[in-house]
Structure 1
Amino acid sequence: MGGFFSGLFQSLWGAKELRVLILGLDGAGKTTILYRLQIGEVVTTIPTIGFNVESVTYNNLKFQVWDLGGQTSIRPYWRCYYANTDAVIYVVDSADRDRMGISKNELISMLEEEELKKAILLVFANKQDLEGALTPAEVSRELGLSALKSRTWQIFKTSATQGAGLEEAMEWLTNALKTRQ
């Protein structure tokens, strides 16, 4: 009976917004991806101090997307935003080989948090348009993604500035979220 009323209310007032965090080290392309998804074009960005929050509708799902700054001094505050998160988009600068270890440590630390245990993980191996970028398979290996046995996750080859891979990644995410519900 509760499911009936829930479905009725959703059809009358629309489905709830799904909460998505966009996380990653500074300079990975998080804000560029957020605005590319929201308005469909590249905007000039500056380093995010704090956060940006925007609504993004994709494939009949409405997302409340939180883009959190990735500087070293800001990362400890990510956990303040974990509650009620449906999915995490983790953005990696595939050309930044020197910081792959740091990126892995931040990802693993975040995924161990109780509030994110059920969150779906979508990894963007971003900046694939740059020479010397690691392939998605190499990024996956560097991040240790194969060890994530009890979590729904996927990695996609992306270029935020060119828009490459974003459509396929969001298609996968919407399907994964619909399947989970």
Structure 2
Amino acid sequence: MGNCFAGELGPALSSLSRFHRLHVAIFGLDFAGKTSLLYRLKLGENVRTLPTVGFNTERLQLQLTPSRQCVPFHFWDVGGQDKLRPLWRSYARGADALIFVVDSADPERFEEARAELLRVVRLPRAQEVPLLVFANKQDLPQSVGAVKLEKILGLSEFGTGMAWHMQAVSADTGRGLHEGLARLHEMIMKRRKGARRQRRKWFPC
């Protein structure tokens, strides 16, 4: 699993992929590993990065499971420093899904991460789109497991109206990245299917 070349998409999907690209905004505190995760997806290797000033953007074709076709994504990785967090609102607007990255080896910042995550899900229309939480740096011995971190962040308090998934990952090894994105893709498709059913209900042919 990994990146796909245009020829691997098949002629129909390849020609139309740019019109069906899924827009995903990536948020999280500074030093959580957002950019490292993005470049692990792009290059398939660990890349040392500097704190993002502004944003990074990448358009990637990813094969999430061996049996599936490639999925076209447009990722927006937004800086996590205090002064940049007000920008998250703009990048969340119009996104098909949100990703929030947490440094699972830095317990001193869990409360800060929880507070910022709550702000994200309270953004206008944010609860209408799926949320994927990456518990990053699981390769480190002091990291907190995804199940425990899920409770610390209070994900169960979001209610049934928001689709979310917690995934243990490592930007260093690539562990869990494609599995998490596969779940995110499933949630996006389920939401779209539900929206189509709702439209047919209110506007029958």
Structure 1 portions without partners, runs of 5+: 1-8
Q: Give the TM-score taking structure 2 as reference length.
A: 0.79
The answer to whether the aligner puts 1:156 opposite 2:167 as a matched pair is: yes
Write out per-residue CA displacement over residues 44-68 of structure 1, whole angstroms, 9 at most, x where no aligned residue: 2111010001102124221110000
- Hey, what's the Cα distance between the residues in 2 that align with 1:143 and 1:127? 16
Q: Could you tell me the percent identity over the aligned residues?
A: 41
- Hey, what's the Cα distance between the residues in 1 that align with 2:48 and 2:178? 21
Opposite residue 155 of structure 1, the aligned amino acid is M
Greater Cα radius of gyration, structure 1 or 2? 2
Equivalent position to 2:135, from 109, 121, 125? 125
Report how many residues are paired.
Answer: 173
Describe the SS at the equivalent of 2:24. Answer: strand
Partner of 2:62: 58
Partner of 1:87: 97
Alignment of 1:12-91 (within 5 A): 13-14=16-17, 15-59=19-63, 60-91=70-101
- Give, in angstroms, the shift of residue 11 of structure 1: 8.8
- Hey, what's the Cα distance between the residues in 1 that align with 2:185 and 2:41? 13
Partner of 1:146: 156
- After superposition, the Cα gap between the structure-2 partners of 1:115 and 1:12, relative to the gap in structure 1 and judged at 3 Å, is same
> Is the 8 Å Cα contact of residues 10 and 16 (structure 1) preserved in structure 2?
no
Opposite residue 169 of structure 2, the aligned amino acid is T
- Hey, what's the Cα distance between the residues in 2 that align with 1:117 and 1:88? 10
- Hey, what's the Cα distance between the residues in 1 that align with 2:128 and 2:14? 26
- Hey, what's the Cα distance between the residues in 2 that align with 1:12 and 1:166? 26
- Hey, what's the Cα distance between the residues in 1 that align with 2:62 and 2:188? 12
Opposite residue 162 of structure 2, the aligned amino acid is R
> Is the 8 Å Cα contact of residues 54 and 64 (structure 1) preserved in structure 2?
yes
The answer to whether the aligner puts 1:102 opposite 2:133 as a matched pair is: no
- Hey, what's the Cα distance between the residues in 1 that align with 2:15 and 2:137? 41
Write out per-residue CA displacement over residues 28-80 of structure 1, whole angstroms, 9 at most, x where no aligned residue: 11001111112212222111010001102124221110000111111122112
CA RMSD of aligned residues (A): 1.7
- After superposition, the Cα gap between the structure-2 partners of 1:112 and 1:154, relative to the gap in structure 1 and judged at 3 Å, is same
